[in-house]
A and B are shown apart, each in its own frame.
Chain A
């Protein structure tokens, strides 16, 4: 039974999910429940006049229409993650329902409550709204120009924040550098898009005053506090309950406007209210991400060693500052140096507002972006310097002996300090996995036959294990069952299974026999949540420590019952016996009952809590290698082979780790090749269905995928040595695939500096080399 950690234990979650018994947000029902539908702005930028509700309210089955006026003095949605947002950022926070002005298509203006969702949507058509359209600005590059429309009158520009990172003197070092290579890169707007849209049910018990919410996700305890503050409702009278969560990826579970309006309406109207987002709403209401414009320069000495990096970039924040504040821009700059020694580093970021959906984090926030920029830049530099791109990387890696390594940047209120790592080894393992030498030989052969095959590498450093802490309580109940209560939130990653595994090993029981409880504020009083690859590195250690305390109590009670010395006792199979005397034995059931009040001096009960504090993040790392073929006639990219080598210190469940990496790879491929939240120049979103927003299917995945889970450098920051694996499978994709496509197109002289590498864009690039300059495209993409 011992040794559950490190084994591919099958998941505890699967049985219910495979039989249709899992209950997701939209599967939850309460008697007398009302259904909400949201009226959203059709304009990117407009003054908002009267919202006339009379016709809608006369429709049978319509109960109420809620507007900003009804909400009264309720405040705007605050920033999370312990940031100290600037005054300008605070001035641009989003109100739950629009007042006076709408700033993006999809902004909520009113909410209809009706007896069915069908009726609620009928009523939306009967709401009559006065708008006075204003000129929109949909492109961040235009939004910073003098004379552009300003979104928020409270600040006199669309630049909501400017952030700087300094290490050394990058300008002087660049001026003195032997070689300088500069380039501009852009990353398109795209986002997490979980298969389950958002949704929420709220009910108010007027007798007890308890306001209950089902369908919460990601950061339930934090959001409960936000809701308490916004509603002026006591926190202890708000009960949050997580149901199954159909994917998170950073976007789901943040506090959105609907998360205020739905419980407000349940309390105001005294009936349960359910709101389920539809896909069209999701693509314009839920956080977008990733849109950035970089202007970067790197300097090298005569030996190809990096002397300086200077990056000025803009991040398109959308129309409001949401719960992540400026975390994504900050993370981009924090991890831009990646696995390389960069003595002089300067970044200047402008966070720019545009008339588009507000943005937040998406799996690997900032790292997908910065890895693309840095790794593409290195390949371009290698070519200019006449060096092999792998050799250029090897010359510049931070060495294992330099750990812990201070990068000179920071994010989330801490300095970026790499805890451990062997970056060269990860590169070698990835090359080995892909069969690099053979792939190069095949490429040369294919080129002779006129085929465009390319190989691209991206080395990356991720971050994981964000604190500040996580809570766990381990208990042996009165029937001898072991229960783990964790402050983590599940987003489909299998955290119930891994929590059971680590606890099982401490108490020497089978993980199958352990129950895991999370996401219920009444059963788990404290928690931070499920994001930032923090489950394995923060929630699991909390459970381990709590289980160790319970183990000590078990031994103490057993020693007293068995009249034996603690060191002679053996825990096995849910019982304790005296070593060598299997008949002198008490079960967990007997021990749990005897533990109240238990031996003198012991706190009664076979349970213990632990807050695992994680003041420093851990930094997993790895290498992606892509082998692609480009069809010059269609611009289509086929992924022939893909390899990821990724060091996570220790794999608690290799099956789950592998699944995280391959799943993240699919999302990263989407970001590199297909996914784009296109807007026209008027700020109208053009990708509001799955016909326009293209998620990879089984057909777009690589023909061969090789994953190498590395456990070469366990982190010293937690007792398990684990880092985190949620994001590294995505963050290298933009870089590796872009480098591979650039390599494939090298014979044509085509340069790659923008994502996504969709067929239309690649074809335009290929043709621009073959023909005179092309005319303007059909769409002015912003």
Chain B
């Protein structure tokens, strides 16, 4: 078994761990760090449920090995709220019914978190294009788009 020692900062906390070289980043987050908010919907990079922010960029944690993120900074869905207080994007999802079963939601929140940092005033078309890599089987996306626009407006105010 090939192992690697890694140091990684997740949601502001630094972890030093030894990981099996073949372990995916998603499995590392979920199993080693017990951050199970990052979900696995396909494990082949299509559904986007496992999306996290890696040094500020939205990436699919099922397509990376944990060993590849040595020295990186990661944000997961667990890092969005302040204690029990939802952030504006989370709050907008709740207000606009942007989730049903909630399984795809963490991936969407992370995709949109990274997107809104770069595009604070997005059009509907830009939002749709951005979330085209996140599959949702419950909502039909309309309320996710509405929630994103509302969250962007709140943050701009």
Contacts and interface: CB of A to CB of B under 8 A. Distances in A.
A193 B22 CA distance: 28
Contact of A14 (B43, B93, B134): B93
Interface residues of A, number: 54
B136 to A, nearest CB: 7
Given A18-B109, A194-B103, A279-B43, A118 B22 contact: yes
B81 interface: yes
A733 to B, nearest CB: 11
A22 B102 contact: yes
B100 A493 contact: yes
Contacts of B44: 279, 689-691
A27 B30 contact: yes
B101 interface: yes
Interface string A292-334: 0000000000000000000000000000000000000000000
Interface in A177-207: 192-197
B140 A11 contact: no
A19 B80 CA distance: 7
A20 interface: yes
Contacts of B42: 279, 689-690
A494 B35 CA distance: 24
Contact of A691 (B34, B46, B78, B137): B46
Interface stretch (B2-10, B113-121, B124-132): B124-132
A194 B22 CA distance: 27
Contact of A247 (B36, B94, B101): B101
Interface in A10-24: 10-11, 13-15, 17-24
Given A666-B139, A690-B44, A698-B132, A15 B94 contact: yes
B140 A20 contact: no
Main secondary structure of the interface of A (DSSP, over half): loop
Interface string A639-662: 000000000000000011011001
B94 A659 contact: no
Interface in B125-157: 127-129, 131-145
A378 B108 CA distance: 41
Contacts of A666: 136-137, 139-141
B95 interface: yes
B86 A18 contact: yes
A501 to B, nearest CB: 14
B8 to A, nearest CB: 18
B41 interface: yes
A194 B101 contact: yes
Interface in B23-47: 23, 30, 34-44, 46-47
A8 to B, nearest CB: 8
Given A24-B39, A278-B43, A659-B139, A19 B103 contact: no
Interface in A683-706: 689-691, 695, 697-699, 701, 705
Contact of A701 (B20, B30, B137, B141): B141
B135 A491 contact: no
A667 B140 CA distance: 8
Contact of A19 (B23, B81, B145): B81
Contact of B76 (A20, A664, A699): A20
Nearest to A10: B94
B43 A247 contact: no
Interface of A: 8, 10-11, 13-15, 17-24, 26-27, 29, 118, 192-197, 244-247, 249, 278-279, 491-494, 655-656, 658-659, 662-667, 689-691, 695, 697-699, 701, 705
Given A196-B39, A665-B140, A698-B141, 20 more contacts: A10-B95, A14-B93, A14-B102, A18-B80, A18-B105, A20-B35, A20-B76, A20-B80, A20-B106, A27-B36, A194-B101, A195-B49, A245-B101, A278-B43, A659-B139, A666-B136, A689-B42, A690-B42, A690-B46, A698-B129
